[in-house]
Every structure is written in structure tokens, then in C-alpha cells.
Structure 1
Amino acid sequence: MTERTDLDLKALRAKLTTHRDEMRADEASTAADRATVDAGDTAMGRLSRMDALQQQAMAQETERRRQVELKRIDAALERMEAGEYGACLHCGADIETRRLEFDPAAPLCVSCASETRGKG
């Protein structure tokens, strides 16, 4: 693969690392929301307990999505280091510059991403 001259890798790397740092800060600040709800707490009413369980489930799902996004960011940074950044992982074509500027962690070109979504 030839290095892409149309990409500002320094700016894209900065965007990725800033986003990763923000997500990690959010991860630490929401740890209490994901903590186990004490179902035996007699001071808490049934509806309050149900609400706490629902909030916990939402926080856990948010954390799961955060971890997926962190993996996407780390993978994009690894592709940059390997000199493979900007190429579609499926077909090998260049990912459009505008797509990478919008989502620097994008691993697929628009065609392959659309094809993948259509199968799900």
C-alpha cells in the first residue's frame, strides 16, 4: 500500500487520541453507575430498586459500547503505525478522506460498510 498524501495523519491521530482520552475519562466517572445494585436493601422501595436496576443496565450497555469504540480507535491507531491507515479492511480501496475526517476510526469504505449493514 502506498502512503496516502491526501490525509493529514497528524490531525487524525490527534483527533483519535483526544476522543480516546475523553472516553476513558467518562469510563472512570461512570463506574459507580455500573456497580451492583443491592437487591436486599430494605430501605429502598421496590420501584426505586427497579429504577436502580434499569439505570445500572443502561450504564452497563453504555460501557459496552464505549469499549467497542475504544477498540475501534486503538485499531485505527495501530493501522496508522503500520502504514495501513486509510485503506478499507474488506476490499483494500482507499476510504474517502471526508469519511475519515468525520470518523477517523472508520475501518471500511462506504460501499463495504453499506454491504455489511445490509447483511445484519
Structure 2
Amino acid sequence: MDEADIAAFRSLILSRREELAREDALGRDGQSTVSLDQQAIGRLSRQDALLNQSMAKATQARRDAQRSALQAALGRIDSGLFGYCDDCGDPIARKRLQLDPTALRCISCASG
């Protein structure tokens, strides 16, 4: 992989991190504390609000995991290990990295 490829993948990773930050901002309202005042909302509406809050928190956890994986990919770029399989050391296919720049294994090792 040449320097232009590395720069393109770095840009892709940074772009995906920015997308996650925008999604974080949109998801903050859904994670807020649900009011338990039965005068303000009914029991079913409150249960629905609690379910929505739970789903928003799970979505945030997935974004946090993705953010960590993207940060690790940036670390691999900085250390010169990006694009190489963690198991066998062979290069990971460029198309695989374009779909998922956080991929750690080549197709052969990932499929077992």
C-alpha cells in the first residue's frame, strides 16, 4: 500500500469518526432521563419512552465501540501495521478495507 492509499484510508477513518460525532449529537435527546410523573404521561407512554431510551443507549454503545475501532485503525496507520492481517500477516484486500477500515483480518483468516 502506497502513501496515497494510506492518506485515503486515514481520510476515510476521520470522516467516519465525524459521522459518529454527528450521530452522537442527534442521539443525546433519546438518552435523557424519562419522567416518571404519571400525571404528565400515561403508563404505556412511559414504557415506550423507557424502551426508546434503552435503544438509544444501546445505539450509543455501538457508536462508542465503532469509535474505538476507528481509533485503533488510526494507531495501526501510525505504526505501519494498517492493512495487514493480525493472524497471518498477509495484506488485507483493499476493497475489504474500503468497506471496513477497522478490519483486522484478511478474508481467509476471518472465514476460518
CA distance in 2, matches of 1:114, 1:42: 55
Contact 1:87 1:108 in 2 (8 A): yes
Equivalent position of 1:75 in the other structure: 72
- Residue 97 of structure 1: how far off its partner (Å): 1.3
Q: Is the aligned partner of 1:49 residue 2:29? A: no
TM-score by length of 2: 0.90
- 1:41-84 residue CA offsets vs partner (Å, 9 max, x unmatched): 43110110011011111111110110111011100011000111
Query: What's the % identity of the aligned pairs?
Result: 38
What is the identity, as a one-letter code, of the residue corresponding to 2:76? R
Equivalent position of 1:66 in the other structure: 63
What is the identity, as a one-letter code, of the residue corresponding to 2:13? L
Aligned residues: 112
What is the identity, as a one-letter code, of the residue corresponding to 2:22? A
Q: Is the aligned partner of 1:17 residue 2:14? A: yes
Contact 1:89 1:108 in 2 (8 A): yes
Structure 1 residues 28 and 65: CA distance shift in structure 2, 3 A: same
CA distance in 1, matches of 2:10, 2:3: 14
Over the aligned positions, Cα root-mean-square deviation in angstroms equals: 1.7
- Residue 91 of structure 1: how far off its partner (Å): 2.4
Q: Is the aligned partner of 1:33 residue 2:33? A: no
CA distance in 1, matches of 2:2, 2:83: 11
CA distance in 2, matches of 1:41, 1:31: 23
What is the identity, as a one-letter code, of the residue corresponding to 1:13? R
Q: Is the aligned partner of 1:102 residue 2:99? A: yes
Equivalent position of 2:82 in the other structure: 85
- Higher RCO structure, 1 or 2 (CA under 8 Å, sep 6+): 1
- Residue 101 of structure 1: how far off its partner (Å): 1.6
Stretches of structure 1 lacking an aligned partner (at least 5 in a row): 116-120
